[in-house]
Structure 1
Amino acid sequence: MTSTHTACNSRAKALLVLADGRVFQGESFGAQGTTLGEAVFTTAMTGYQETMTDPSYHGQIVVATAPQIGNTGWNDEDCESYGDKIWVAGLVIRDLSVQVSNWRAKRSLEDEMIAQNLVGISGVDTRAIVRHLRNFGSVSAGIFSGSDAHKPIEELVEIVKQQPSMAGLDLSEQVCTDEPYVVEAQGDAQYTVVAYDMGIKTNTPRNFAKRGIRTIVVPANTPFAEILKHNPDGVFISNGPGDPATADVMVGIVQEILAAKLPLFGICFGNQILGRALGLETYKLKFGHRGVNVPVLNHLTGKIDITSQNHGFALKGEAGKVFSTPFGDAQITHTCLNDGTVEGVALVSGLAYSVQYHPESAAGPNDANPLFDQFIELMNANKK
């Protein structure tokens, strides 16, 4: 998942090359050169800045289904990564907006891509690319622009094929913080939560802060004994990139947290880790769920939420099924109405729960935001 490139504003030739030999020709935008990653698509019509800075997209070339990208420019408020880093490996779009039209924009999308050395390709038929990925699944890919785009196609396909597959990749330690840091509560702190940074989005601790939670963000795989020094009221496991089957260390830590009966809340990658800690297996989806309009059914309440999602792996399980674990009975609590994918798991006791989607709503709908309030209720009940 490497990239080498130099900045250039000229509209040079660019190629999107898939490992199965399919090639799409367009124009270079952003930085110029070569970038490699797994080609995936997002159906979100808005929120490209949040998508591009989401650490869960590390190692992925994102194809936008919205026909025009860049019209809202780039601002200083909506980045979802610590340090405002772009994490996508590359960006594929149909049409780059020639004009920025948003009162918060500080610069254009292309300005930021050049500043952060991100390679993009525009002027391609994104409908055809998405249809190809839906038919054949997410696949290794590369964007080649400038002089790199004039190399023989056979050579470019071979370069793309040689990169490692997303299945089996352990990426969380590549995106997480090196040292713990604290996000203070707004007003008086009512609770202290330790958040494991598997690739955390900045809007998550911000949601905690609004609710009077002091959040201590720690690196992935921080030993359980270390987090106990903070005397947490609860533990949070964040979203993040890579294959959950590689997260054996975090699975073991979560089992220690469950055994200690500490309140636990997880999202996305955290859902897969909790599921594995409870004995479930994971698998790679054909093309994943990436968008801000995915319907999810809560089997405990019968309520349907429209959710923001970004995941290429999922838990194996049956809708609503209750199963035994060393920590008490657990249940598959949520499933996707589009394809039946498991979207949530919880201990029947309520002491630990997780969902596969993003309640912090960056970008996306607010339907799932009450999951943060559920965490407060859980910590409050546990204190009593």
Structure 2
Amino acid sequence: MTLSPAVLVLEDGARYTGRAYGAQGRTLGEAVFATGMTGYQETITDPSYAGQIVLQTAPHIGNTGVNDEDQESSRIWVAGYVVRDPSRVVSNHRAKRSLDADLEAQGVIGISGIDTRAVTRHIRDAGAMRAGIFSGDEAALPAEEQLELVRRGPDMTGLNLSGQVSTTEAYTIPAEGERIGSVAVLDLGIKTATVRHLAARGLEVHVVPQSITTEELAELNPTAVFYSNGPGDPAASEYHVELLRDVLRKGIPFFGICFGNQLLGRALGFETYKLPFGHRGINQPVMDRSTGKVEITSHNHGFAVRAPLDGPVDTPAGFGRAEVSHVDLNDDVVEGLNCLDIPAFSVQYHPESAAGPHDSTYLFDRFVDLIKTAQAGGSAAAAEVSNSQTPNSQTPNDQTTNDQESN
């Protein structure tokens, strides 16, 4: 493990000196903290963390190494990685490599040996902000130059990252057991565990690029549509919102998670906004308002939907009535939406939660029930809910990435 100097620089001028961890050089991104005690491999390979420098609040990271089975995608996506005490040895029979070896091999720049709890408290008070890690020769740059580089870095507000993380080619995962239908999964940064959960419930899974057009989606003739998690500002993904509105008008059953929840909210006509420091980790308490049950859930989101908490409301975009189905018990953030007149619902968190907890996997069963109800004719009137214009067939790459509509 290298002992080369490194420094973490925040946008507001705060500086934390430590040691290089993983690759060396310079990296820029949004500094966020993740509160999970376990699951660091799932965290760094989650495409939702693209563009972010992730700080682990748990002090000891890396002791179980990394393996080839727990990857949530084909690569590490974090822009940078911050830990306090990296493990000096790997102690797990499933480990194939050490964490720092994987970081170095994939060019991911990190820093260790700083007080991550202190940085977390700072971000919690000041909010998520742009940051940079400078190590090796970059650590010797003047402090003023490092800070200027950080302040010129990209701001997550208005940023569209779907094209960076989505698959470029569609692929299909066959249904396990009795096939009940097919689901078109829009890959906005999907995790491997999500696909497994859908296939395990008898759904033939067609994972499609985020650039798919309305016509191409119609050619698949899916039984249902699913929007995945992903990074970026939902206000910069109007193309995906219009695509979803076409799905909703046709009465096709829909389920969205994380970024997909935000896009459903915008499709229904609600606003989205940026949280001060987001929800990230595997210990967020959420109440399912339909049952009163409190679930411990896995989160990774910096944006949220603004919708009334007090009962069903008419959706501003004309899709009938909707209600807030789940709410975060820490701060009353909307954690789920349920449509009452069309077959669609979503949650803000990760029910697949490969690193745990598993309180919310029932949501995949709820999706299957929704599909079966639709197949039985329970959503015949859904297509009559809205008669507004169909979306155009522009691709997401034609969009601006500087939409500042989000608060």
Tell me which interval the TM-score lies in, with the shorter structure as reference length: over 0.9
Q: Are 2:344 and 1:352 aligned?
A: yes
**Deviation per residue, 1:57-99 (Å, 9 max, x gap):** 0000000001100001010011111xx2100001100001011
Please report how far the alpha carbon of residue 184 of structure 1 lies from its aligned counterpart in structure 2 after TM superposition: 1.5
SS in 1 for 2:352: coil
C-alpha distance in 1 between matches for 2:160 and 2:180? 35
Aligned equivalent of 2:357: 365
SS in 2 for 1:32: coil
Aligned equivalent of 1:187: 177
**Deviation per residue, 1:275-319 (Å, 9 max, x gap):** 000010000000000010101111222111110000000001232
Number of aligned residue pairs: 374
Aligned equivalent of 1:87: 77
Q: Are 2:38 and 1:67 aligned?
A: no
**Deviation per residue, 1:235-264 (Å, 9 max, x gap):** 000000000011101110111111000000
Q: Are 2:366 and 1:374 aligned?
A: yes
Aligned equivalent of 2:305: 315
Tell me the amino acid that sits aligned with residue 145 of structure 2. E
Aligned equivalent of 2:397: none
Q: How does 1:160-309 map to 2 (within 5 A)?
A: 160-309=150-299
C-alpha distance in 2 between matches for 1:44 and 1:320? 31
Tell me the amino acid that sits aligned with residue 357 of structure 1. Y
Aligned equivalent of 2:385: none
Alignment root-mean-square deviation, CA: 1.0
TM-score normalised by length of structure 2: 0.90
Asked if the contact 2:85/2:113 (under 8 Å) is kept, the reply is: yes
| Residues 267/192 of structure 1: CA separation in 2 closer, same or farther (3 Å cut) | same
Tell me the amino acid that sits aligned with residue 13 of structure 2. G
Please report how far the alpha carbon of residue 320 of structure 1 lies from its aligned counterpart in structure 2 after TM superposition: 4.2
Q: How does 1:16-31 map to 2 (within 5 A)?
A: 16-31=8-23
SS in 1 for 2:119: helix
Tell me the amino acid that sits aligned with residue 91 of structure 2. S
SS in 1 for 2:182: strand
Please report how far the alpha carbon of residue 188 of structure 1 lies from its aligned counterpart in structure 2 after TM superposition: 4.2
Q: How does 1:126-145 map to 2 (within 5 A)?
A: 126-145=116-135
User: Which of the residues 40, 51, 56 maps onto 2:32?
Assistant: 40
Tell me the amino acid that sits aligned with residue 40 of structure 2. Y
| Residues 332/61 of structure 1: CA separation in 2 closer, same or farther (3 Å cut) | same
User: Which of the residues 145, 149, 155 maps onto 2:139?
Assistant: 149
SS in 1 for 2:331: coil
C-alpha distance in 2 between matches for 1:67 and 1:10? 19
Asked if the contact 1:299/1:320 (under 8 Å) is kept, the reply is: no
C-alpha distance in 1 between matches for 2:288 and 2:134? 43
SS in 2 for 1:40: strand
| Residues 350/44 of structure 1: CA separation in 2 closer, same or farther (3 Å cut) | farther
**Which sections of structure 1, spanning at least 5 residues, go unmatched?**
1-8
**Deviation per residue, 1:214-252 (Å, 9 max, x gap):** 100011141222112122110000000000011101110
Asked if the contact 1:285/1:314 (under 8 Å) is kept, the reply is: yes
Tell me which stretches of 4 or more aligned residues in structure 1 moved more than 6 Å. none
User: Which of the residues 334, 337, 353 maps onto 1:342?
Assistant: 334
- Sequence identity (%): 55
C-alpha distance in 1 between matches for 2:347 and 2:4? 43
Asked if the contact 2:193/2:354 (under 8 Å) is kept, the reply is: yes
